[in-house]
Amino acid sequence: MIGTDQIAALLAPVSAHVLTPERIEEPLQGGKGGTERASLSKYLSDKAEGYVQLYELTPTFTYQGVYDTYLLTVDAVADTKAAAVTLAAACRKQLSSTPRRGGNITTFMPERVEALPGGIYRVTVQFEVRQARTEE
């Protein structure tokens, strides 16, 4: 099965730090006063282009026993709305299949922009990942 490590590798050309699901707490550690906002601001101060957070693949359904599909959620987080939107667009371009180049990852839900406390923005994009079903 394709995993988040392989997806992180697909995002290597994106000019931002990519965090796999097991590193989800990393941006929230080390802020002054222990607040989430301070921690996130401090984390972003070291990453001018923002960062990308991958979440665990969520199984959605099996299509006629031929392939399984999974939902992949990707967050692009940056200290400006423009930077977060640009980062999300880069992720979408890198991951999404096209008729010309093919692939097994398609955009499932377009970008959703969310303002977080402290002037930070998160843009969430969801993808559908297809995986051929194999019997083990």
Condensed to tens digits (0 to 9), the pLDDT of residues 33-76 reads 556 667 888 888 888 889 999 999 999 998 888 889 999 999 99
Query: Whole-angstrom Cα distance, residue 57 to residue 13?
Result: 21
The answer to whether the CB of 25 falls within 8 A of the CB of 34 is no
Q: Can you give the residue range of the structural domain that contains 32?
A: 4-132
Condensed to tens digits (0 to 9), the pLDDT of residues 65-108 reads 888 999 999 999 999 999 999 999 999 999 998 778 788 899 99
What average pLDDT does range 94-123 have in this prediction?
90
- Mean pLDDT in the chain? 88
Q: Residue with structure tokens 């401090």?
A: 42
Return the SS3 of 58.
strand
Q: Is 56 left (phi over 0), alpha (psi -120 to 50) or beta?
A: beta
| Residue 84: both structure tokens together | 């977060």
Per-residue confidence (pLDDT) for residue 1, from 0 to 100: 60
Query: Whole-angstrom Cα distance, residue 57 to residue 74?
Result: 10
Query: Whole-angstrom Cα distance, residue 83 to residue 98?
Result: 24
Condensed to tens digits (0 to 9), the pLDDT of residues 15-34 reads 889 999 999 999 888 655 55
DSSP H helical segments within the chain, as ranges?
4-10, 36-45, 81-95
- The number of distinct structural domains making up the chain is 1
Query: Whole-angstrom Cα distance, residue 93 to residue 89?
Result: 6
Per-residue confidence (pLDDT) for residue 93, from 0 to 100: 92
Return the SS3 of 34.
helix
CATH number at residue 67: 3.30.2000
